[in-house]
Amino acid sequence: MSTPPKQGEFYQRDRRWHPPALSQDYKTSVTRSPQLPLISLENTASEITGPVFGHNDIATADNDLLTNFAQPGESPIGERIIVHGRVLDENARPVPNTLVEIWQANASGRYRHKKDSYLGSLDANFGGCGRTLTDENGCYHFRTVKPGAYPWRNRVNDWRPAHIHVSVFGTGFAQRMITQLYFEGDPLIARCPIVNTIPDPEAVEMLIARLDMNATIPLDTIAYRFDIVLRGRRSTLFENRLEGN
């Protein structure tokens, strides 16, 4: 692998591609959205840098939700799936050795969380969280069960589409992000007020994992592909007066 050029600041985040802070139909956002504009900062060392994680921080089996909470010899109930993909930056370069964390409901749409009181059953063999580091090519993978849809108190009959929450670090604190992965073909996606906080339909498409038959293990586990893109960085073609690093 060739040495990448010395990199500078992160590209400006496109705030019209991301959801706005206030979206009326997602009711909780109404009182939790700042009313004053964000103050734009040029990157300093505080934003360019970010935490570094290594293989000592996590166990290799942490990415297998089929086994990481199950009793020995037991297995959670639900559709066995692989979720895999790559973490890239906006320059399409892989982001190696970065921490990806996921969490989700079980096949009934019930979370293992003391605040979730949904009627859907807990699964004694399913915890619902996993984590892994991307490899040198930015690739990651998890094994889990496909989560179920669940109701939530927004309007009285709102249901979240099946989704997996995804948290990614990147190399700088400015890349820190949390998002949600949805599944191809789910009819609840178009009806969801949280999905619809995103104004651009093409941006929504980026959150929909695709059925990936080529990564499926026959007679065992079906696969979905989900690539993640983090902010890219400028190459310092000219002096940009960023210092302190």
Partner 1 sequence: MRQKLGYLKETPSQTAGPYVHIGLAPGAAGFEIYDQELGRDIAGPNAKGERIRVEGVVTDGTGSPVKDVLLEAWQANADGIYAHPEHAGTVEDGFRGWGRVTTGFETGEWGFDTVKPGPVMGRNSQRMAPHISLWIVARGINVGLNTRIYFEDEGEANAADPVLNVIEWESRRQTLIAKHSAQNGKSVYRLDIRLQGEGETVFFDI
Which residues lie across from 103 on neighbouring strands? Answer: 129, 165
Footprint (CB under 8 A) of partner 1, residues 22-61: 23, 26, 28-36, 38-53, 57-59
Min dist. Cβ of residue 66 to partner 1 (A) = 13
Cβ count near 190 (within 10 Å): 11
Among 1, 92, 213, 237, binds partner 1 (CB under 8 A): 92
**144 belongs to the binding site for partner 1 (CB under 8 A):** no
What's the sign of the alpha-carbon dihedral 91, 92, 96, 100?
A: positive
Amino acid symbol at 32: R
Collapse the DSSP code of 167 into the 3-class scheme (helix H, G, I; strand E, B; otherwise coil) and give the result: strand
Judged by CB under 8 A, the chain residues 168 through 207 that form the site for partner 1 are 171, 173-174, 176-180, 194-195, 197-198, 202-204, 206-207
Neighbouring C-alpha atoms within 13 Å toward the C-beta of 51: 9
Alpha-carbon distance 106 to 46, whole Å? 38
Is residue 241 at the binding interface for partner 1, with CB under 8 A as the rule? yes
Is 140 among the catalytic positions?
no
| Cα distance between residue 79 and residue 191, in whole Å | 23
- Near partner 1 by CB under 8 A: residue from 4, 5, 90, 124: 90
Site for partner 1 in 146-165 (CB under 8 A): 165
For partner 1, the binding residues in 204-223 under the rule CB under 8 A are 204, 206-207
Which of the residues 57 through 86 are near partner 1 (CB under 8 A)? 57-59, 62, 68-69
The DSSP call for residue 132 is: E
Cβ 205 to partner 1, closest distance in Å? 10
Size, binding site for partner 1 by CB under 8 A: 92
| Terminal-to-terminal C-alpha distance of the chain | 24
**Residues labelled as active-site residues:** 111, 150, 160, 163, 165
